[in-house]
Amino acid sequence: MIADIVVAVLMLTGATMAFTASIGILRFPDTMTRMHAATKPQTLGLILVLLGAGVRLWDTIDFGMLVLSGIFALITAPVIAHRVGKLAYQEQRIRDDLIDSDDVESPRTD
């Protein structure tokens, strides 16, 4: 009974986070803000949904697959966000009022 409530809360919260991430991707104006919406709340929503499924599948072999899926998402999301942000900066597809060019310049090694 209590496990069902915990599963429901985790699943609904995770689904809500993923839903707000999708709204952010559609509504935000440029690549940098869309990238934030695509990585932060979406990853948290996925982890919450996986935790909810993990509570339900605790004593089965499928629990290991849930753990691997969560680890994979946590490892790949920051790398992908970094690459997309760097590419957007290089292609000049960012708003000038959001980022200062000194923030992303490589440090000099004089």
For the chain, the structural domain boundaries read 1-103
Give the global pTM: 0.73
How much is the pLDDT for 40? Answer: 84
Residue environment code for 27-48, b if the CB has 16+ CB neighbours within 10 A, otherwise e: eeeebbbbbbbbbbbbbbbbbb
Cα(105)–Cα(55) distance, integer angstroms: 45
pLDDT at 105 over 70: no
- Please, which pLDDT band fits residue 17 given cuts at 50, 70 and 90? very high
Higher-confidence position of 104 and 63: 63
pLDDT tens track for 40-99 = 888 899 999 999 999 998 888 889 899 999 999 889 888 888 888 788 777 775 666 665
CA-nearest of 83, 61, 60, 63 to 71 is: 63
- Please, which pLDDT band fits residue 7 given cuts at 50, 70 and 90? very high
In this structure, the number of other CB atoms found within 10 A of the CB of residue 10 comes to: 20
DSSP 100: -
How much is the pLDDT for 79? Answer: 85
